[in-house]
Structures are given as C-alpha cells and as structure tokens.
Structure 1
Amino acid sequence: MKFVLIDGIRTLQLDLITTAALALLLLMLGNHIRKKYTVFQKMTIPASVIGGFLCSFIVLILRVTNVLYIEMDTTLQLPFMLAFFTCVGFGGSFKMLKTGGRLLIIYLASTWILAILQNIIGVGLAKTLGIDPLLGIMAGTVSLVGGHGNAAAFGPIAEQAGAQGASAVALASATYGLIVGSLLGGPVGDWILKKNKIDVTSDAEQAISTDKSETTTEMKNGFTTDRFLAHLTFVFVFMAGGVIFSELIAKLEIKNFAIPSYVGAMFLAIVFRNINDKKQLFKMDNQIVEMISDIGLGFFLTMAIMTLKIWELASLAGPLIIILLVQTVFLFFFVLFFVFPLLRGKKGSTDSYDAGVLSGGFMGWGLGIAATAFVCMSAIVEKYRKSSPKAFLIAPLCGAVFVDIVAIPTIIFFISLFS
C-alpha cells in the first residue's frame, strides 16, 4: 500500500493483500448489516452486494471530489471465481439434470431468446434516438448478457467498425448491468413467489446448497483438516485444469470461439463428478464443497462490486441511459410473463418454487453475470430456508456456458450487419 501522485491527484494504491483484506472485511460488514437491519433480508439483498457497493460509492465520492483516487489489485478475483465455478461443477450431477430436464430446456431457450431480443431492442432504440446502432448493440447483448468480458472484447471491434466510444459505452453499460442486476434479482424473485402465492415449506434441517438431495452429515460427525485439505486440493487441481484447457483451446485459433478458464474448470469438474458417482474414486463431501463455493462466490463478487468504476457511467449519454432503462423494464416483464410461467408450468406444480428462484436468478443474470444470478438465488433460498438444487445447477450452466452458443454469433452478426 502506497500513496503516489497521478496527474496531480493523490492516489492510494492498494496491493494484493490489502485489497483482499478489504474485500473480506466488506463481506463480513455486509453480513453484519444484513443481520442487524432485517430490511435487507426482506429485500433479499446479498451481503456481498451490500459491502461491495458501500466501498464503491465511497471510492466514487472521493474520486469526484478529487480528494483521493484509490486503485486496487484485483489479481485474486480470478482464482476465487475459478474456485466458485469449479465447485458448481462438482455439484453437476447428471442425475440432477435429468430431474430438471424441462426447467433446463426452458431456461436455456429463454437465455437464447433474450440474447437476440436485447440486440433488437438496443438497435431499434438507437435508430429511434438518432445514435449509431452499434452503440445500441454495446448497450444490449454485448454488455448485459456478456458482461465486462464481452464488453472489453467487442468494444474495440465496434470502434474499428466506426462507432466512436463503443468501448466506453460497453464497459459503462456492463457496470450498470452488474449494479442493477445485483440489486434487482433477489427482490424480483421474492416478489414473484409472493405474487403467485407459492407455498414454500422451509427445509430447516438441510443446509442451503447446490445439491441438497445428496447432502451428507460428515461435517457434523467429524470435520477434519485432512478432509478439508483433500477437497481444497481437488478444487485447485481442477482450477488449474480449467486454465490449461482454456489455453489449449486458444491455441487452436478457432475463429470467434474461446472457452474462459472458469468454464473449462466447471466442465472438467462436472465430468469428474459423474465419473466419481459411478466409480467412487473420491468420497465427496457436499458440505465442504459448499463451504469453498460460498467463500469463493462471496469474495469474488464483493471484490467485483467494490472495484466497479461507477464514474464510467458518466460516459452514458441520455439516449444510452434510455436504452438501458428500457432493457431493464423489458427484462422484468420478460421474466414475469414469459420465463416464470413457462418454468412453473401448471399451477400447483412441484416446480413452482424452483421456477421462482430461477426467475430471480434470470433477472440478475440478464443484466449482470452468471455469478450475479447465483448470489441473487442464494439470497432467496436463504430467506425461505429452502434449497433449490435444480436452480443452482441450471442457472450457472446455461448463463455461463450454453448461452454463448447463440449469444456470440448474434453479437457478431449484428455488428457485421450495422457496420
């Protein structure tokens, strides 16, 4: 940690350890605030969102008043994200997927439809408001379904095609999406459950996890350092495998195709999980996996939110703000009148609760990222004390992996069409 002068402004540079310590303190603070002020629990706002936003707004105020700039080292954000998605993969039992087959197909089809519609809305409004249609694409699927990763990747491509400031617009739109998605996902899912008067029976005897149907009691009977270390080792091995797998795919230089390291890690973990179910190569304790997953998600999302460059939103001009607001309202009604009814099926269906949880996750994902969906759903199941293993398996798989089957070609097609 050190103070330096950058462009005449005093800047505090936080190193890796200090940034990590701050993220953990903010996560704990978020948990404390959430427990002390029950309004956050009633609104299903996650602890990582509370702590992260508190920091990002303080950083924003210090910056806009030119009192102090703060720069943080986010190196550890990727490893914790990798750990989280690897643990999601360890919960990816094909038996569970079979039981949620209908929900998986509907949710996946909904992500594909949204990926197309967000671009149509973005382009249509851009033309109506008299701005470059490519900027409408940047404020559509690129930033909302794609997040900061796609924003950074496609922004320069749009600029090369003639759209000035496309990168700034894409990154600012992605920032908007992460903020609003994190805040709306949980409350929307909760509101849908209440509005439809879905009877939710609390599952107090089971811990909230991504695979409740196979929860073990080993944590209660004898949690040991050796057991935890064995699971942590497996997680890190598959994290490394995901990185290697991603690099091998990149070396193939397949046009417009890439697999992020976290996706590779999740797929490898899914493959191992299902082989292990049959061969019993390793006795997997789901509660330990859940513990590592919770830590990874909490740390990763807290760091992602606390380091948001909220001042980038200043680059969004009036027309682009209108586009993003319309995208948000459209997504809400899309979830309410399309996604939830299809997921629920007939009234009284056993999928009703899962449909509500998935709908909250879809609202968070449709503006943010896959991890946003996960944390929004976590807030819902924590409030109702009832798990939703189908939702926690389906949302990350569809929102982080399979959506790109349609989303990436759609983005490329629209950019080519309006260049």
Structure 2
Amino acid sequence: MSADQIGFALLYLGLFLLLGKWIRMRSAMMQNLFLPASVIGGFLALIVGPEILGRIMGNFTGEDSFWATGLVTPEIMEVWSALPGLMINIVFATLFIGTVLPNLQRVWDIGGPQLAFGWTLGWGQYVVGLLLAMLVLVPFYDMPPFIGALIEIGFEGGHGTAAGLQDTFVELGFPEAYDIAVGLATVGILTGVVAGIALINWGVRRDKAQIITDVKGLSPTQKAGIVEPQDRGKGAQKTVRPESIDAFTFHFTIVGVAILVGYIILQGITWLEATLFGSDFMTYVPLFPLAMIGGFIVQIFVSKFDVSELVDRNTITSIQGFSLDILITSAIATVSIAVIGDYLVPFLLLAGFGIAWNIFGFFVFGPRMMPDYWLERAIGDFGQSTGVTATGLMLIRVADPEMKSPATEGFGYKQLVFEPFLGGGLVTALSAPLIFMWGPWPFLLLAIAMTVLGLIVGLFYFGKRRLG
C-alpha cells in the first residue's frame, strides 16, 4: 500500500466526520439522541461501504465490479481497520499528561467504583456464557464448552481480540468460533452505541443524569453541538513560540514519548516472561493500558522538571478528542455484518443473554455501586462491556461532554487493573484455552468467585459510601 493511498484514506475519513457534523446540525433526531458527529459519520461510512451498499450492488453488478465494495475501496478499509488500535493508545496516553497526578487513595476512591462495576459485568459474562453453553449449546447444538467464553471475548475483547484468537480456535478444534466471535463483536458495538444512547436519553428524561439534566432547556445551538459565541473561551494555550515548534506539535511529541514508554514497558515484561518462564502470556496484553502508565510516568517528570509550564492540559485534551473522533468513526465504519449462517441460533442466544446481563447490571448494580454520578459512570462500563473500550469512552463523552463528572477519570484509573485481565487482556485471551484444558466447571467456579468479589466490593463498600 502506497503513502498516497494511506493519506487519501485519512482524508476520506475526515469527509465522513464533516458530513456527520453537518447531519448533527441539521437533524433534530440526531440532536435529541446526542449522537456525536463521529458516530453519525461512522455509520454513514458503514452504510456506503462494502458491508451494506457493496453487498447490495454486488448482487446486480457482480463481485468483480467497482461497486461491489460500495464507495469505500479495500485499500481504504485496510487503513481504517488499523486506526482504532492505534488511536486508542493516544487516547489513554493523554489521560494523565498535564494533570495533577493523583495519589493511590484518589485512584481507589475515583476508579474503584467503576472497577468493581466493570469487574462484575466482565466476569459475569463468563458465568452467563458458560451456564448457557453447558445447559443448552453443548447438549443440543454439539458445540465445545469454550463457546461460553465468546460473550466476553466478542463484547469486551472486540474484533481485534477475536481476530487474534483465530489460530487458537483452529487449534482447539472449532474454527467456527472465530466467525461467531467476530459477529458478537459487531453486535456488541452496534448494541453498545444504540442501547447506550437510549439509556443516556432515558437517564436525562428520568432525572438520573447529573450533567445533561434538561434536554428541553438546551438551546438550538447547544443541541447542534455549537458553543455559544459568548461562551467561547481561549482554549489551548500557546506555551511555545511557533518559530521554534508549533504548540500542537510539541504536545504531540509528549504524547508520543508516553506511548513509547508504555511500549518499552510492555516489551520488557514480555521479554522477562519469556526468559524466566518460557511463556508468552504477555503477548496477548494490548498496548494502551501500558501507554496510560507511560503517560503517568511522563507526567511525573513533567511535574518535576517543567518549570516553565510548557505542557498545557487543554492542548493535550484536544489531541485526545481528535484521536477519539478518528477512533470512533473508523471503528464503526469497519464493522463486519457478515451473516453467521449455520450457527445463527447459538449466536443469537449468546448475544441475547450477554446483552440482557449487561442491561440488568446497568439498572441493578450501577446505581447501587456508584457513590455519585451513577449514570455517567455506569454508562461507560456498560459501553465497554457491550462494545469494547472505545464504545465506553464514546458514551461517557455523550453523557459528560465537558468531563465535569469523575466518569472519564475513573474509567481511566479502572483500566490500570481491568485491562491486563479482561477486555482483551490475559483472561480474555486465555479463557478459551483454559476452558479447553481445565474443562468448563473450574473456570465457571473461578468466574463466579470473581463476580461475587466485584459485587461485594461494589455493593457493600462503595455502595455504602453512597448512602453515607
């Protein structure tokens, strides 16, 4: 693939973002749903891409026709498919840079409730999935027991984890699990966005939300996503002179260093593991939680040595917002909606029970675990538990666009403990092989114990703090 093709793919993505913003400004329905331009543009790109328009046109023009891929070429799709995995590293690397670093007590106080809630939902997906597998899918559909792990693999792990486990599924004797996992990842993202937006709107209208509290009271410009002229502040600060380096460029290099530090940490841990134990478990751990640690380390040095206060938090936030917009648009645009085929009923059962568990957890555990801003906090973990980390971040941004609640901060703290295990971490990557080796019952008991742990901490520690 040439540099021109990559560049054009990025410009083309920008066109869909612009169209998404235009539609948001013109459509009352989109405004009432609080849909960001990135979500609108992503779905628009999905519709005109190979999965929808391409399949429709292919029936009339043939698979070799230009129209068989819709208005999005395979080269563009290849670039777009790689963007979410890259941009998520930038999003998490920027969480701490330019902020006052918290102490461990603050990490526990702010991130603890969301960790307990997300931990309960994640491990609960294994409980629900394995029970479904042992009671229905194994005896009636002759499927292997590890099929129960696909809810968490598809929903929280997403397309990337499912793709990474393709060879593993082949080695375990059931390659069809890959198609089911990818299908679940697709349903998870779509459900996470649609159901998440619906839950936010429900919260606003039932006075459960504390940030967006009055939909009817919003002015037309606010609903269109436009800042009133009198409310427009200075924004990012010019901390360096442009003849030396542009301020945005300077801050981007700081973010790059944070990601590099995270990469070095990940590679070092992976090397130590391979050297000392001869295993490769850490190869399944994604980079972005380590990039967040890298950002934390960079901020330690910034706090100590940046006497001229060159690092501006507003500029870092702009980089984060830009990356998140690109991430969301490209992730939705590249969703695969291929037909599951012969495994449609098991697929629907897995998807249905997984979604039902997440919605149940949102309504029952969310308000009882979160000490404050329960909807803004819980919606992010609902989004991640249904449709990967990016969906959770997007829903938090809809519910708390100016980051006034602790939802975004707590979500970031939570990832430090959560991501190395669930959501694409070690447990997600190793669950199917472990179930294959141990059998379903030991892993089910482990999942039940971890779910109960999350419930106890969330309900009886953080929940009581809310009541107090």
TM-score range, shorter chain: 0.7 to 0.9
Alignment match, 2:466: none
Check if 1:175 corresponds to 2:186.
Answer: yes
Once residues 196 and 337 of structure 1 are traced to their aligned partners in structure 2, the CA distance between those partners, rounded to angstroms, is 17
Alignment match, 1:141: 152
Once residues 416 and 31 of structure 2 are traced to their aligned partners in structure 1, the CA distance between those partners, rounded to angstroms, is 27
Once residues 415 and 245 of structure 1 are traced to their aligned partners in structure 2, the CA distance between those partners, rounded to angstroms, is 31
Once residues 415 and 32 of structure 1 are traced to their aligned partners in structure 2, the CA distance between those partners, rounded to angstroms, is 50
Q: 1:109-148 to 2 correspondence within 5 Å?
A: 109-127=116-134, 128-129=136-137, 130-131=140-141, 132-134=143-145, 136-148=147-159
Please state how far the C-alpha of 1:50 moved relative to its aligned partner: 1.3
Aligned length: 387
Q: C-alpha deviations, 1:41-69, integer Å up to 9, x for none?
A: 32232321211111112222333231412
Once residues 10 and 114 of structure 2 are traced to their aligned partners in structure 1, the CA distance between those partners, rounded to angstroms, is 35
Once residues 309 and 136 of structure 1 are traced to their aligned partners in structure 2, the CA distance between those partners, rounded to angstroms, is 20
Do the aligned partners of 1:16 and 1:73 also contact (CA within 8 Å) in 2? no
Listed as ranges, the gaps of 5+ residues in structure 2 are 59-66, 219-224, 226-232, 441-468
What do you get for the CA RMSD once the two structures are aligned?
3.2
* DSSP-derived class of the 1:15 partner: helix
Do the aligned partners of 2:163 and 2:182 also contact (CA within 8 Å) in 1? yes
Do the aligned partners of 2:154 and 2:181 also contact (CA within 8 Å) in 1? yes
Once residues 257 and 308 of structure 1 are traced to their aligned partners in structure 2, the CA distance between those partners, rounded to angstroms, is 27
Q: C-alpha deviations, 1:320-363, integer Å up to 9, x for none?
A: 1122022112201101110232103xxxxxx2x3x211111112
* DSSP-derived class of the 2:95 partner: helix
Please state how far the C-alpha of 1:91 moved relative to its aligned partner: 5.9
Pair 77,387 (structure 1): closer, same or farther in 2 beyond 3 Å: closer
Pair 416,339 (structure 1): closer, same or farther in 2 beyond 3 Å: farther
Once residues 436 and 397 of structure 2 are traced to their aligned partners in structure 1, the CA distance between those partners, rounded to angstroms, is 36
> Scaled by the length of structure 1, what TM-score is found?
0.81
Listed as ranges, the gaps of 5+ residues in structure 1 are 3-13, 209-215, 345-350
Alignment match, 1:409: 427
Of 379, 388, 394, the residue aligned with 1:375 is: 394
Do the aligned partners of 1:175 and 1:313 also contact (CA within 8 Å) in 2? no
Structure 2 letter corresponding to 1:242: G
Alignment match, 2:296: 270
Pair 91,220 (structure 1): closer, same or farther in 2 beyond 3 Å: closer
Structure 2 letter corresponding to 1:367: T
Once residues 184 and 343 of structure 2 are traced to their aligned partners in structure 1, the CA distance between those partners, rounded to angstroms, is 8
Check if 1:388 corresponds to 2:404.
Answer: yes
Please state how far the C-alpha of 1:241 moved relative to its aligned partner: 3.1
Alignment match, 1:359: 378
Alignment match, 1:62: 53
Once residues 221 and 289 of structure 1 are traced to their aligned partners in structure 2, the CA distance between those partners, rounded to angstroms, is 12
Pair 99,340 (structure 1): closer, same or farther in 2 beyond 3 Å: same
Please state how far the C-alpha of 1:275 moved relative to its aligned partner: 4.1
Give me the identity figure in percent: 22
Of 163, 179, 204, the residue aligned with 2:174 is: 163
Alignment match, 2:78: 73
Once residues 18 and 316 of structure 1 are traced to their aligned partners in structure 2, the CA distance between those partners, rounded to angstroms, is 38
Check if 1:340 corresponds to 2:370.
Answer: no
Structure 1 letter corresponding to 2:191: V
Q: 1:248-259 to 2 correspondence within 5 Å?
A: 248-252=268-272, 253=274, 254-258=279-283, 259=285
Check if 1:299 corresponds to 2:326.
Answer: yes
Structure with higher Rg: it is 2
Once residues 54 and 408 of structure 2 are traced to their aligned partners in structure 1, the CA distance between those partners, rounded to angstroms, is 38
Q: C-alpha deviations, 1:59-109, integer Å up to 9, x for none?
A: 223332314123123255544332222212426644387446334212112
Q: 1:303-318 to 2 correspondence within 5 Å?
A: 303-311=330-338, 313=340, 317-318=344-345
Pair 196,313 (structure 1): closer, same or farther in 2 beyond 3 Å: farther
> Scaled by the length of structure 2, what TM-score is found?
0.73
Do the aligned partners of 1:136 and 1:320 also contact (CA within 8 Å) in 2? no
Once residues 93 and 365 of structure 1 are traced to their aligned partners in structure 2, the CA distance between those partners, rounded to angstroms, is 26
Alignment match, 1:331: 358
